[in-house]
Amino acid sequence: MDGILLVNKPSGITSHDLVMKVRKKLMTQKIGHTGTLDPLANGVMILTVGKATKILPYITNHDKEYVAVLKLGIRTNTLDVTGDVIEEREINKVTEEQIREVFKSFTGPQKQVPPMFSAKKINGKKLYELAREDIEIEREACDIVIHEIELLDFNGNDEIKFRVSCSAGTYIRVLCEDVAERLNNIGTMKELTRTRIDRYTLEDCYSIDEVSPDCKFVSTYDILSGYPYVEIEDLKPIYDGKKIQIECDEDLIFIVNNERIIAAYERITDNGIYASKRGLW
């Protein structure tokens, strides 16, 4: 069992819990994941199984899509409804037109500060570990992109359901709080579903109950297809980790053979000399 398994994480468990459950079902310890989901959230998770764990560094920057529900009138320490309420305020009435205008203002490249309750590491420690000790530290704003944001439903009072397509590293909890602020309110995230990572959607995913060794795995060749591939027949220099010369302008390429990913190579000189970065066979 070597490849990528797409699983729909249910709400109520951590991403680590999901990996542990899948390990038991597949009877293997060699499983990794990318794109952590909060316990509150459900949706698409990409799990790497067996030798495919080697490609984890190269599948962390896929664009993602979410469906979220923003609840107005309260603010919590975790920026979602699982946290402690730290502020309540009467809701300033808003209209669907106002919501759509605010959503438009969020599209495009921007900066976003990661929340304290997140798995992001600073100086080797996860932020949520510090947050649980009531320690708050300054976080550097990160570059993100909101490609598209669409209003799906508004109950006319305190709940706004929307879909958002965004770059990797975007925190929807932070987006919910920021949207509420631009609507002259406070708010927190009530629900979150990740509906897509790259081109893989919920329809492609297995539920935990469906996971078994008979599941269909996505190949590493398929999931890395957004990168430039270079087909090579004589693989001995690749297996030996030797430098190669290729007419190519890309900084990172993948050596392939018969639809198998063999290695990642990076350009080290302007005249097309590439060095082995990581063997993936």
pLDDT tens profile 158-169: 999 999 999 999
Phi, psi at 82, each rounded to 5°: -80, -15
- E strand or H helix at 229: strand 229-231
CA distances from 11 to 85, 207, 208 (A): 20, 12, 12
* Catalytic residue flag (residue 38): yes
Q: Which of 38, 204, 222, 234 is catalytic?
A: 38
Interatomic CA distance for residues 175 and 246, integer angstroms: 43
21: left (phi over 0), alpha (psi -120 to 50) or beta: alpha
Binned at pLDDT 50, 70 and 90, residue 93 comes out as: very high
Work out the average pLDDT over 211-227. Answer: 95
Mean pLDDT, the chain, as a whole number?
94
Output the six-digit token pair for 94.
């808003």
Could you give the count of Cα atoms lying within 13 Å of 228 in the half-sphere of its Cβ?
12
Work out the average pLDDT over 164-190. Answer: 97
What structural domains does the chain harbor?
3-61+201-220 (3.30.2350.10), 64-197 (3.30.2350.10), 227-279 (2.30.130.10)
CA angle 95, 99, 104 (to 5 degrees): 145
Residue 70's pLDDT is 98
**pLDDT 10s digits, 101-126:** 999 999 999 999 988 777 777 777 77
Least confident of 31-40, 93-102, 125-134, 251-260: 125-134
Residue 152's pLDDT is 98
Q: What is the DSSP string of 105-131?
A: HT-EEEEEPPPSSSS-EETTEEHHHHH
Output the six-digit token pair for 53.
């764990």
Rounded to a whole number, what is the largest CA-CA distance in the chain?
Answer: 70
Beta bridge partners of 132: none
Residue 211's pLDDT is 97
Work out the average pLDDT over 13-30. Answer: 95
**pLDDT 10s digits, 236-260:** 999 999 999 999 989 999 999 999 9
* Per-residue pLDDT at 227 exceeds 80: yes
Interatomic CA distance for residues 74 and 81, integer angstroms: 9
Binned at pLDDT 50, 70 and 90, residue 139 comes out as: confident
DSSP annotation of 206 reads B
